[in-house]
Structure 1
Amino acid sequence: MSISTNPLKRLASQTAIYGLSSVIGRFLNYLLVPVLTYQFAPAEYGVIAEFYAYMGFLAVVLTLGLETGYFRFRTAGHDDPQRVYATTVRVLLVINSGLFFAIWYWQQPIADLLRHTQRPEYVVWAIAIVALDAIGAAAFARLRADNQALRFAGIKLIEIGINIGLSLFFIVLCQQAFVNQSHSVFAQLWQPDVGIGYVFIVNLVASSVKLLLLAPQFKDGLHGIDYDLLRRMLRYSLPLVMIGLAGIVNEMLDRAALKYLLPFDDQTNLAQLGIYSACYKLSVLMTLFIQAFRYAGEPFFFAYAKASDARQVYALVLNWFMIVCIFLFLLVTLYLNIFQYFIGAAYRDGLSIVPILLAANVLLGLSINLSIWYKLTDHTLLGATVALLGAVITIITLWILIPRYGYQGAAWAHLLCYSVMVIVSYYLGQHFYPVPYDLRRLFGYPIVGLMLYTTHQILTKTWLIIPQWVTSTLLLILFIAMVAWFDGRHLWRLQQR
């Protein structure tokens, strides 16, 4: 089989559909950042960032890696796909329900441990959200495996719509009514002592509605657990939990660590965390693209693995993935003077970390693509070792850099971690599952991106007579022209076959 654009078209179309929920939908959710950062002080926003970091860790643990395990065992041909699904659903339901009630029972000691003694309800709300999402993950995995991307996207968009709508209703409308019309019906719905708690309440409602919409997907998934199958699935999936935890350490430990490693009082540390987290949101376009690609890419890579030209297609996919990532890097950094207005003025002291975080996310996306080798070859333990190496680097660099450089150190820790992981993943992948990646382009496009960004920085400081948006647009057009020249013609030739 020769290299065909058909699998690429299929992957692109799936990515586009999933993008309705994960990119476009999450982008709409991202528009809540101005609402939160203009309505709440940095210390209050820091509490939100802190708890959502904890929830990120729990989300990995409570799915047990069974999403990927479901894909693997469903397509392996040795087990009944229905039995694989039922086992996945029942296990997630039991584990998450049990942990929710345990944390509900010990909410106060946990709140004391987290230094939120006065707010134990935050702990309960957080674990409820994570448990509902983890149970729903099995149904979403089935939708992805069955190529029901439109239903997947529709449910995600409804969840996001509820989250956005209720957030605007409570945090904007009701709060303003409380201030301006204290006797109105809307004003009675705003309780100042709840404050940022409305963020958790709204998320909990949205997650509950999502699970109700997924109910049809559970009708065939409550028939019992095949314990022999479960043992084999866990043997495959639990290393993925280690990888996922290591990934969350790399992605979110900074937000949990800033509160404890910065050399100030808790309130000041939370304010610094709030500034860092808000500026981190300015790199979210890259994160959202990577997430959408990941949703579509994982089932695609498994399904296409037996094709004769699979490795050549994987190489081509990574090449275009890198092009899109560098385009997003330039889009945000060249127009940062515009993107900055997505966060409140009190948060803009941290804008200098945005290019660093964007570069780190480029490396994260590259690492995710390169890591396909251990999933296809069942070397999940070795893949876990790579992720754990990254986690160790993250922990050490955060411990060293944050007390000295504050949230700037946290941003650089991301970049250092993902740099090492990319190098190690590439060399292990070439040993266990060699793919003919075009290294000239994989190195060339990031170098071009950094050169264009540096040029922009110099021009904006020296050519003050030229509006900044003019230089930004010209440099972005230059990058697009280079891509069209070096890769557009090649893609056009493939299209004609």
Structure 2
Amino acid sequence: MSVVKGLASQTAVYGVSSIVGRVLTYLLVPIYTGAFSAAEYGIVTGLYAYVSFLNVVFTYGMETTYFRFANRPGTDRRDLYDRTLSLLLVSTIVLTAALALLARPLLGLLDIPPGHERYAVWVALILGLDALTAIPFARLRLLNKARKFAGIKLAGILANVVLNLFFIVLCPAVMSGKWLPALQPLVARVYDPTVGVGYIFLSNLFASGLTLLLLGRELLDFRFRLNLAFLKPLLSYAYPLMLMGLAGMVNETLDRILLPKWLPEGFYPGQSSLTAVGIYGACYKLSILMSLVIQAFRYAAEPFFFAQSTDKNSPATFAMILKWFTLCCAVIFVGVSLNVEDIGPLFLRRPEYLQGLAVVPVLLLANLFLGVYYNLSVWFKLTDKTYYGTYIGAGGAVLTIVLNFLLIPVLGYMGSALATLVCYFSMAILCWRLGERHFPVPYPALRLGLWLAFATLLVALGWGVEVTGFWVRHAWHAGLTVAFLAALYWIERPRPATRPT
């Protein structure tokens, strides 16, 4: 149990940058949805969907590969760091240049009209800067420098938030005379209202540059060494991870790319396809709490799992981690799903966004199963059988594409949400079954399945039973939430060991 507490402590530190930072970013959602129409926000949603895909291409699995080889006996970690970062530097320069040149075709895939090519160029630069920070950040995690990792991450996020507030809130207010009109000449030098949603990308770009600067000590400690013979085993280990990551991005973000393509014209009366993407993307943000927990857990768990791999008690430890991770996520699923009708208007400032709230419980449950899959995937990483992850991810990607093709024309963005849920559930089940053959772990699968079924039933009751009256509805939802928490405490609470008679 002490080992699990150690992992929880590391998760908490990494969570400072992940959760606090994401919460700060999340607080920008009301600003975005208040300042921009759903169609304008659809541009942001669509381009950041491509960013998720291309982040995987730019780093091509080298973070996990770096962890794996750094923990092998006899590895010169300094030499490994230099060579992996050298490879990443060369590939980043090539990919960033290529992406900037393909700005117009990229925007065409999203049905974004001409005149916005600079957005795609800024996105290419963001991807390049972020890729260069991947190995230095991985090195900090390997050395258990969680506080420095969290501090730099948080500084970049704070810079992004401050710049967003400056360009999207302060500058328009000054130029309109609402606030501090005396500053208009100064603001006019740095602010161009025609950039519009582009300031979201510009703010991100400046923040990524700051993050790279804050990693200066790790970068100054780097020596360029490119040896393809040395890198061959690394690439052999990494490329299945990249394919797995790409498949994962298909499952996670392809719906926002396919939605404008496969949504029938007029499916949502009076709305364009970009408007639907904007609504879906904004409502997707409401499932962020689940994503925050998963991200913070992954930062801490990946090096932890590799370090524990040689411990004879590691299977029992992994089982205990999955149990408590799943139960914590179930609490989030129930709490957010039953109160999303009250949370939604606080963050989605225009009424047009609120019509998509029904997708939030589906996406929360989908992300819960994604977190379960990340836990279960430890077996093929520890056994160097990463190609199984590629197969599972590819199967999920095919399932995602097929289900989106079938469901979007019938259910709109709810079809995309259901496709995500089915995909992640299927991946988790398949990974669990394969893991039982290659790396047996005594996961309490039946017990966790019953808990998730109970949580889903309570959420279905909360949404399905019509309750009139503001306070009555709140009491109903609060009662369901408390019922789940009480049952969880009663059944899972620690019990004192029975003394022998």
Q: Which residue of 1 aligns with 2:449?
A: 443
Q: Which residue of 2 aligns with 1:286?
A: 290
**Cα distance in 1, alignment partners of residues 396 and 299 from structure 2:** 22
Residue pair 2:396, 2:427 contacting (<8 A) in 1 also: yes
Q: Does 1:488 align with 2:493?
A: yes
Indicate which of 381, 398, 407 corresponds to 1:392: 398
Q: Which residue of 2 aligns with 1:474?
A: 479
**Cα distance in 2, alignment partners of residues 370 and 465 from structure 1:** 42
Residue pair 1:82, 1:220 contacting (<8 A) in 2 also: no
**Partner-residue secondary structure (3-state), 1:180:** coil
**Cα distance in 2, alignment partners of residues 223 and 336 from structure 1:** 50
Indicate which of 13, 20, 32 corresponds to 1:17: 13
Q: Which residue of 2 aligns with 1:61?
A: 57
What is the deviation of 1:84? Answer: 1.1
**Cα distance in 2, alignment partners of residues 296 and 11 from structure 1:** 7
**Cα distance in 2, alignment partners of residues 279 and 483 from structure 1:** 28
Q: Which residue of 2 aligns with 1:299?
A: 303
What is the deviation of 1:73? Answer: 0.3
| 241 and 306 in structure 1: CA distance in 2 versus 1, 3 angstrom threshold | same
**Cα distance in 1, alignment partners of residues 66 and 51 from structure 2:** 23
How does the TM-score come out when normalised to structure 2? Answer: 0.93
Q: Does 1:100 align with 2:89?
A: no
Matched ranges for 1:11-160 at <5 A: 11-108=7-104, 110-112=106-108, 114-116=110-112, 117-160=114-157
User: Which letter maps to 1:351?
Assistant: L
Residue pair 1:326, 1:362 contacting (<8 A) in 2 also: yes
Output one character per residue of 1:367-387: Cα deviation in whole Å (capped at 9) or x when no partner. Answer: 111111110111111221011
Indicate which of 368, 371, 379 corresponds to 2:377: 371
Matched ranges for 1:392-471 at <5 A: 392-457=398-463, 461-462=466-467, 464=469, 466-471=471-476
What is the deviation of 1:187? Answer: 4.9
What is the deviation of 1:462? Answer: 4.0
User: Which letter maps to 2:30?
Assistant: P
| 493 and 264 in structure 1: CA distance in 2 versus 1, 3 angstrom threshold | farther
Q: Does 1:165 align with 2:135?
A: no
What is the deviation of 1:262? Answer: 1.5
| 32 and 466 in structure 1: CA distance in 2 versus 1, 3 angstrom threshold | closer
User: Which letter maps to 2:458?
Assistant: L
Residue pair 1:173, 1:186 contacting (<8 A) in 2 also: no
User: Which letter maps to 2:26?
Assistant: Y
| 263 and 458 in structure 1: CA distance in 2 versus 1, 3 angstrom threshold | closer
Q: Does 1:382 align with 2:379?
A: no
| 190 and 318 in structure 1: CA distance in 2 versus 1, 3 angstrom threshold | same
Matched ranges for 1:143-292 at <5 A: 143-180=140-177, 184-185=184-185, 187-188=187-188, 189-264=190-265, 268-292=272-296
Q: Which residue of 2 aligns with 1:360?
A: 366
Residue pair 1:21, 1:157 contacting (<8 A) in 2 also: yes
Quote the sequence identity (%). 42
Residue pair 1:22, 1:292 contacting (<8 A) in 2 also: yes
| 325 and 106 in structure 1: CA distance in 2 versus 1, 3 angstrom threshold | closer
User: Which letter maps to 1:317?
Assistant: I
Output one character per residue of 1:374-401: Cα deviation in whole Å (capped at 9) or x when no partner. Answer: 1011111122101100000001111111
What is the deviation of 1:481? Answer: 2.2
**Cα distance in 1, alignment partners of residues 253 and 46 from structure 2:** 9
Output one character per residue of 1:406-463: Cα deviation in whole Å (capped at 9) or x when no partner. Answer: 111101110111121112111100000010011232112111212222333355x246
Residue pair 1:87, 1:221 contacting (<8 A) in 2 also: no
**Cα distance in 2, alignment partners of residues 355 and 429 from structure 1:** 29
What is the deviation of 1:77? Answer: 1.4
Residue pair 1:89, 1:218 contacting (<8 A) in 2 also: no
| 81 and 186 in structure 1: CA distance in 2 versus 1, 3 angstrom threshold | same
**Cα distance in 2, alignment partners of residues 409 and 10 from structure 1:** 40
What is the deviation of 1:225? Answer: 2.3
What is the deviation of 1:25? Answer: 1.3
Output one character per residue of 1:339-380: Cα deviation in whole Å (capped at 9) or x when no partner. Answer: 112112220000111111111111111111111111011111
**Cα distance in 2, alignment partners of residues 96 and 38 from structure 1:** 36
How does the TM-score come out when normalised to structure 1? Answer: 0.94
What is the deviation of 1:192? Answer: 2.2
Residue pair 1:178, 1:186 contacting (<8 A) in 2 also: no
- Root mean square deviation, CA, Å: 2.0
Q: Does 1:323 align with 2:327?
A: yes
What is the deviation of 1:402? Answer: 1.1
Number of aligned residues? 488
Query: Which range moves more in the overlay, 285-294 or 226-235?
Result: 226-235
| 178 and 229 in structure 1: CA distance in 2 versus 1, 3 angstrom threshold | same
What is the deviation of 1:101? Answer: 2.1
Query: Which range moves more in the overlay, 22-31 or 427-436?
Result: 22-31
Residue pair 1:373, 1:429 contacting (<8 A) in 2 also: yes
What is the deviation of 1:467? Answer: 2.9
User: Which letter maps to 1:434?
Assistant: P
**Cα distance in 2, alignment partners of residues 7 and 281 from structure 1:** 33
| 201 and 427 in structure 1: CA distance in 2 versus 1, 3 angstrom threshold | same
What is the deviation of 1:98? Answer: 1.7
**Partner-residue secondary structure (3-state), 1:264:** coil
Residue pair 1:175, 1:187 contacting (<8 A) in 2 also: no
User: Which letter maps to 2:140?
Assistant: L
**Cα distance in 2, alignment partners of residues 270 and 302 from structure 1:** 43
**Cα distance in 2, alignment partners of residues 322 and 8 from structure 1:** 14
**Partner-residue secondary structure (3-state), 2:388:** helix
Q: Which runs of 5+ in 2 are unaligned?
A: none
What is the deviation of 1:104? Answer: 3.0
